[in-house]
Amino acid sequence: MRLFSAVYPSPESLTHLDGALGGVGGPAVADPGTGLRWVPREQRHVTLAFHGEVPDGAVDGYVDALGDAVADVGPFDLALAGSGTFSGRTLWVGVGGDVDALRSLARRVDDAAADAGVSGTDRVAGRPHLTVARASASVVGADRARERRRRRRGEPEQEPASPFGRWAHALAVYRGPGWTVGEVLVVASRLGEGRSGGPAHEVVARAALPGHLD
């Protein structure tokens, strides 16, 4: 199965983010149009490591190794903050708070995967983030083509040639409420089986950080 390990924001943090997205995106939040897709609220997460295809028989070994790896890790606080895009095709919201603890946790997750013979790609060593929306290559290409035509006509340059440029700019100053990270979730992702042709996610295991209170 296709696996990743992640931490998830609290429901309060996700509700606050929904309000910010509604204020910026307006009607497009409910109806983004052709070529744009919002990540469902329940799937919004901060990836610690992506494992790719993992044989079913190797999952239990990885989960055991993960539990050992986080056995001495205490809970820590994060908050969603800032925004940007990746290549104009992905709108993301950044992560603030104890980012050093998050990066340390990601390294432990990566080590646990290696110990279990499972691949693992650390996803927070550079820019920890939560993906909010994605655009198709055709939508981004059309926006960039319009911007090139404007430049050839000598018109003033517009906002970045991306369907998410305005939203990322508006959300750059976004600051959400903090939440406490108390567990790592191991999640199976089945491509094309979710809403609007996106992936379907299923939590297959949870590794609690000691001292976390439900």
Kindly list the catalytic residues.
Answer: 45, 129
d(CA 19, CA 71): 36
Distance, CA of 181 to CA of 144 (rounded, Å): 39
Instruction: Count the Cβ atoms, other than its own, within 10 Å of residue 97.
Output: 19
State the Cα angle at 21 between 178 and 43, rounded to 5°.
70
Q: Are 204 and 118 in contact (CB under 8 A)?
A: no
Please say whether the beta carbons of 204 and 6 come within 8 A: no
Which helix (DSSP H) or strand (DSSP E) does residue 86 occupy? strand 76-86
